[in-house]
Each structure stands twice: as structure tokens, then as C-alpha cells.
């Protein structure tokens, strides 16, 4: 019942909302594919959503192209004003949208609210940014010449997002792209279409009130097939894709084949190093939040803990003590910290990873059970696991999207720990816990962490929107959100203006005709 009222508040018709492009309501049309959405909380059915057909998709592209002609001429600070209004509207809907995130994705309500707060924050950031899309000016080597660079909108930006941050990742892209003058086409994860529909309603309200075309923000619901249409489509100059490395490799190749731009935010295999100079209490707390928060389903989840031999036993004991007290259960219960995994497949992956790491010689020292019983309904709840392992194990090298923490021991200097931390294919987030300046600075130096995010005395997850977010190696190399990530959403143009009457050439070349 609560779910129905939330859907109503967010403008989603309960039970059978047929939805493809943002406008079409009613019964699922003949011959169209549908997605049935169930909550991971107890497996209950929420709604059926219709996926976009190729015709729907073409219609969306047409609307987006039309809208771009209008939007690119709206002055950037005025575009910022629209994004400001979206931020205000998100404040209004924060509780309902946060709850829908919990219903649909299963993260605890506090994290659902946190995700919406992140959307609000990026709206504020983008509003300010809309007055700061600066280019450089340069001194020309020729007399009476002026040189400068400017940034223009790219056009259509395709956003393919993952289930685990069903709304925030879209906003990181869409709000920045919007102030840059781009129009967006969003394909959310097929596991979380409802929260996307809710966001679409929120932005549509604001566009309507401002007499702007609805095609500035677009939504296409569907699975990987719809994502492929976007990746192949030369009408979309930039594809920003968030998800697994497997998906990123496919998208990267398809987009590169047409010389489009791709911004990839892919899997992580993040580690925390705990040195003998660490504040152990801080380190352990950060590890637990990083390892079990969102039930281990964050791209920045702490998956490996590299601990110095001299503090290893102490850290291990403290971790087990805390894991024993972890409240696991319904993510709407405010006392719960660990909710369910997204679906049955995720539970199977968790179980299989634990089996395979043990076959390789890993020792399961805590958790790993699939939880059954009334409190867990038909949900997908597991007890977060701690495994003593070695970094080179094939299972440890992979990102298993579930709460498994691998404890890895190092015996020598911090250089050894850094070497271990860098010895994986992924390069998203990393952290060191130490009170020693030399260790901390080495970790941040060119010879230190090879990740896109490197933290000192803070865990691997929970990044702020102000920084550019993303990672190296198989994480894909993309950067989005804060800092100057906006530049990727624009095309750069260098302009030289001659206000004299002669036509001098650069490099002193003489070419008299
Ligand atoms: P996924 O790769 O299964 O799906 C992500 C999205 O890609 C979905 O919308 C899916 O439909 C689409 N997709 C899949 N194959 C495609 C293809 N060939 N062409 C076009 N689109 C395709 O990922 P998931 O299970 O939803 O999310 C979990 C993964 O996402 C983890 O690996 C996690 O680390 C990663 N992730 C990364 C970041 C980051 O910022 N680096 C953030 C969140 C999640």
C-alpha cells in the first residue's frame, strides 16, 4: 500500500503502467516487450513497464534533435536556472523518490535519501557551473590577431546506467550535460525502470512550466538491445555508460567504430590499505561501511583489505565483532544497515564466488550464508562474508557485486601494500589508513595508487560530487560529476580573429601570391 501511494505521489500509475517514451500510458500494446518489476525486499510484484520499440526510439531521437535546436540557443545561465528548478523539485520529492529507490533497488532508506541528495547537490553544482563554462584566451603570434577557445554543446548525449545507483548516476550526467546545452537520452537499467520514470516526470513538470520542449530530457526503457541501438547511433555523439566492464568493452568498441565519444564508468576492485601507523578504529569502521554498505553493490565497495602483519589479527577480530552485530533485513527499517541483493542471480554469484575462492585456498572466516525465514520473505538477503585470501586468486581479481571482503596480509613496507593494491585490472577507488606522512604521500604520489580515486584516512566509497568521479584501467577512464568533467560534454573550438588589414601567416611562412 505504501508503495502504491509512493508511485502515485511520483505520478506513476500503479500496477500496470505502460511506459516507453515518457508520454504513453495505458495497456501494454500488442507485440511490445515488457519488464515486470519486483521489489528485492520481499519479491513482491510492483509494476509492469513496457519497453521502447525501434519506432519509439526513433521518435525519441527525433524529439531530442528538435529540442536540441531550441536548447542550444538558451543562454547557459538560463539553462542553469532550469536545472536549479529541477533541484528544487527534487527537494520536494526527496522522501518519495528515496523510498522508491529503496523499494525498487533494495538499498536502505537512508542510502535512498542519500542518492536523491546527491542529485540535489549536482543540480546546485551545475547551476553554478552554468556561469563558468570557461575557455582560455591565448596571445597570438601574429599582430592584430586574437585567439581564444570556446565550448559548444555536443548535441545528443546517451546515458546508459546501472541498477545500483538508479537515479544519481543519471543526474551526474544529465544535469551537467543540460547546462552544457546538450539534450539527454537515458536508458536506465532494466532492473530499475520505475525510479527512472519518476525522474522523467519530475523533469517534465519543470520543462512544461517553463514552456520548453519535453525532448530536452528523454527516457527509453529497455534492456541491452536498446543500449546497443544508442551505442551504434551516429546521431548521438557521446555515450556515457555506467555498468560492468563486460558491458563497457562492448559499448566502447561499437562507439569507437563510428568514432563517437564514450565516457565509461565501469567495475571496481577497490582496496583499503591498513598500515601499522593506522588509527585502527577509524580504519575498521570505514572498511565495514565500504564493504557492506548497499550490500556490497557499489562500484566503490571495499572488496580487498590489505593489512600489515603486525595489526592483522587485531583488525580481523574487530571486523568479526562488528560483522556479528550488523543488522540485516528490510531496508525500510531504520535500524537495518544491510538490505537485500538486487535479485536471485546476484545471490547465486555471491555463493559461487565464495565456493571458488575457497577452492583456490581462501578461508571463509565469517558469513556467507543465504538468509532464509520469515524476516527475509522471498527477498535476497545474505550474510556479508569475510575471507582470508591472496591477491592473485582468480576470484579476488574479479569484481563480485556482493558483500565479500577479502583480507590480504602484507609483511614489508608500504610499497609492498601499494603493489598488491595496484595488482588488479580495475582502477576505481583506493584508500590508505595511516598517520604517517611519508606513507600517505607515497600512496598519493606517481609511484602510489593507480586508481582514479585515492583517499587518506577515508574509505573507498561515498565520494562527493565536487570531484571528478571515475577510474583507470578496466574501470574505463571516464570522469563525470564535478571539477572540469563538464568539458567532455562539450565540443571545444579554437577561434582566431584577424582585426588588421594584412594577412600574416603563422610560423612566419611567406606565401605571396
Ligand atoms: P550491467 O553492465 O549489467 O548493465 C549496465 C547497463 O548497461 C544496463 O542499463 C544494461 O542494460 C546496459 N547494457 C548491458 N550490455 C550492454 C551493451 N552491450 N550495449 C549497451 N548497453 C548495455 O551492470 P549492472 O549490473 O547494472 O551494474 C553493476 C556494475 O556497474 C558493476 O560492475 C559496477 O561496478 C558498475 N558501476 C560502475 C560505476 C562507476 O561509476 N564506475 C557506478 C555504478 C556501477
Picking from 137, 142, 138, 136, the residue whose alpha carbon sits closest to that of residue 500 is 142
Residue 241 alpha carbon to ligand 1 centre in Å: 7
- SS3 (DSSP) at 404: strand
The DSSP 8-state label assigned to residue 137 in this structure reads: E
Predicted pLDDT at 10: 87
- The model's pLDDT over 129-170, given as tens digits with 9 standing for 90+, comes to 999 999 999 999 999 999 999 999 999 999 999 999 999 999
- SS3 (DSSP) at 86: helix
Residue bearing the CA closest to ligand 1, atom 28 = 243
Predicted pLDDT at 30: 63
- The model's pLDDT over 377-403, given as tens digits with 9 standing for 90+, comes to 887 999 999 999 999 999 999 999 999
Residue 319 alpha carbon to ligand 1 centre in Å: 30
pLDDT at 21 over 70: no
Q: Which helix (H) or strand (E) holds 351?
A: helix 344-359
Predicted pLDDT at 72: 98
SS (H, E, C) 287-345: HHHHHHHHHHCCCCCEEEEEEEHHHHHHHHHHHHHHHHHCCECCCCCCCCCECCCCCHH
Q: Are strands 302-308 and 238-242 parallel, antiparallel or unpaired?
A: unpaired
- The model's pLDDT over 287-302, given as tens digits with 9 standing for 90+, comes to 999 999 999 999 999 9
Predicted pLDDT at 23: 44
- The model's pLDDT over 264-320, given as tens digits with 9 standing for 90+, comes to 999 999 999 999 999 999 999 999 999 999 999 999 999 999 999 999 999 999 999
Predicted pLDDT at 19: 42
Ligand 1: nearest atom to the Cα of 191: 26
Give me the catalytic one of 59, 265, 398, 474: 265
pLDDT at 12 over 90: no
**All three cell numbers of 244:** 560492468
**Ramachandran category for residue 367: left, alpha or beta (phi over 0 → left; psi -120 to 50 → alpha):** left
CB atoms within 10 A of CB 16: 15
pLDDT at 31 over 80: no
Ligand 1: nearest atom to the Cα of 471: 41
CA end-to-end span of the chain, whole Å?
A: 82
- Does the annotation count 416 as an active-site position? no
Residue 264 alpha carbon to ligand 1 centre in Å: 10
**All three cell numbers of 215:** 525532448
Contacts of 225 (CB under 8 A, 6+ apart): none
Which of 52, 118, 159, 162, when mutated, tests ligand 1's pocket best, judged by the most ligand atoms within 8 Å of its CB?
A: 162
Q: Are strands 137-138 and 145-153 parallel, antiparallel or unpaired?
A: antiparallel
E-only strand ranges, 12-132: 34-38, 45-50
The DSSP 8-state label assigned to residue 411 in this structure reads: -
Predicted pLDDT at 157: 98
Rg (CA), the chain: 25
- What residues does 498 pair with on adjacent strands? 145
Residue 247 alpha carbon to ligand 1 centre in Å: 6
Q: Which of 8-12, 101-105, 125-129, 499-503 has the lowest mean pLDDT?
A: 8-12
Picking from 319, 293, 294, the residue whose alpha carbon sits closest to that of residue 305 is 319
| Residue ranges lining ligand 1, Cβ < 6 Å | 160-165, 169, 187, 189-190, 223-224, 227-228, 231, 242-244, 247, 250-251, 265-268, 299, 399, 401, 428, 471, 475
Measure the CA–CA gap between 332 and 102, rounded to whole angstroms: 7
Residue 224 alpha carbon to ligand 1 centre in Å: 9
- The model's pLDDT over 413-446, given as tens digits with 9 standing for 90+, comes to 999 999 999 999 999 999 999 999 999 999 999 9
Predicted pLDDT at 307: 98
Q: Which of 1-5, 125-129, 416-420 has the lowest mean pLDDT?
A: 1-5
Measure the CA–CA gap between 204 and 133, rounded to whole angstroms: 25
Ligand 1: nearest atom to the Cα of 480: 40
pLDDT confidence band for 13 (50 / 70 / 90):
low
Which residue's entry shows cell 541501438? 229
Amino acid at each position: 500500500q505504501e508503495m502504491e501511494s509512493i508511485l502515485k505521489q511520483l505520478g506513476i500509475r500503479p500496477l500496470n503502467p505502460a511506459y516507453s517514451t515518457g508520454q504513453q500510458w495505458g495497456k501494454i500494446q500488442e507485440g511490445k516487450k515488457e519488464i515486470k518489476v519486483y521489489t528485492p525486499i520481499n519479491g513482491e510484484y510492483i509494476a509492469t513497464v513496457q519497453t521502447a520499440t525501434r519506432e519509439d526510439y526513433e521518435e525519441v531521437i527525433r524529439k531530442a534533435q528538435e529540442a536540441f535546436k531550441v536548447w542550444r540557443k538558451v543562454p547557459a545561465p538560463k539553462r542553469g536556472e532550469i536545472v536549479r528548478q529541477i533541484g528544487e523539485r527534487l527537494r520536494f520529492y526527496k522522501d518519495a523518490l528515496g523510498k522508491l529507490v529503496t523499494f525498487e533497488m533494495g538499498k536502505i532508506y537512508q542510502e535512498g535519501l542519500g542518492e536523491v541528495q546527491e542529485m540535489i547537490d549536482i543540480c546546485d553544482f551545475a547551476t553554478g557551473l552554468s556561469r563558468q563554462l570557461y575557455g582560455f584566451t591565448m596571445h597570438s603570434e601574429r599582430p592584430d590577431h586574437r585567439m581564444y577557445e570556446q565550448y559548444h554543446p555536443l548535441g545528443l548525449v546517451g546515458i546508459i546506467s546501472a541498477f545500483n545507483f538508479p537515479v544519481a548516476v543519471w543526474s551526474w550526467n544529465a544535469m551537467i550535460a543540460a547546462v552544457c546545452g546538450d539534450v539527454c537520452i537515458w536508458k536506465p537499467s532494466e532492473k530499475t525502470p520505475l525510479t527512472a520514470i519518476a525522474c522523467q516526470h519530475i523533469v517534465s513538470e519543470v520543462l512544461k512550466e517553463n514552456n520548453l520542449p519535453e525532448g530536452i530530457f528523454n527516457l527509453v526503457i529497455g534492456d541491452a538491445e536498446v543500449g546497443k541501438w544508442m551505442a551504434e547511433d551516429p546521431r548521438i555523439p557521446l555515450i556515457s555508460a555506467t555498468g560492468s566492464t563486460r558491458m563497457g568493452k562492448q559499448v566502447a568498441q561499437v562507439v569507437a567504430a563510428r568514432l563517437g565519444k564514450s565516457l565509461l564508468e565501469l567495475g571496481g576492485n577497490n582496496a583499503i590499505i591498513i598500515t601499522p601507523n593506522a588509527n585502527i578504529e577509524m580504519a575498521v569502521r570505514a572498511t565495514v561501511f565500504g564493504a557492506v554498505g548497499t550490500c556490497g553493490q557499489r562500484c566503490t565497495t571495499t572488496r580487498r583489505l590489505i593489512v600489515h602483519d603486525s595489526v592483522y589479527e587485531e583488525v580481523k577480530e574487530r571486523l568479526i565483532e562488528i560483522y556479528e552485530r550488523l543488522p540485516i533485513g528490510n531496508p525500510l527499517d531504520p535500524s537495518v544497515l544491510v538490505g537485500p541483493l538486487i535479485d536471485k542471480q546476484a545471490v547465486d554469484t555471491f555463493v559461487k564466488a565464495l565456493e571458488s575462492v575457497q577452492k583456490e585456498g581462501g578461508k571463509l572466516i565469517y558469513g556467507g550464508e543465504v538468509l532464509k525465514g520469515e524476516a527475509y520473505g522471498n527477498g535476497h538477503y545474505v550474510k556479508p562474508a569475510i575471507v582470508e585470501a591472496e591477491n592473485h586468486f582468480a576470484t579476488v581479481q574479479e569484481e563480485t557485486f556482493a558483500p565479500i571482503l577479502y583480507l590480504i596480509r602484507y609483511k614489508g613496507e608500504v610499497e609492498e601494500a601499494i603493489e598488491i593494491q595496484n595488482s588488479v585490472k580495475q582502477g576505481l577507488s583506493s584508500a590508505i589508513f595511516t598517520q604517517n606522512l611519508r606513507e600517505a604521500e607515497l600512496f598519493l604520489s606517481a609511484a602510489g595508487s593507480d586508481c582514479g580515486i585515492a583517499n587518506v584516512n577515508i574509505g573507498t566509497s561515498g565520494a562527493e560530487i565536487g570531484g571528478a568521479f571515475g577510474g583507470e584501467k578496466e574501470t574505463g577512464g571516464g570522469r563525470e560529476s564535478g571539477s572540469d568533467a563538464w568539458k567532455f560534454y562539450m565540443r571545444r573550438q579554437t577561434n582566431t580573429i584577424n582585426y588588421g588589414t594584412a594577412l600574416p601567416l603563422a610560423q612566419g611562412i611567406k606565401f605571396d601570391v
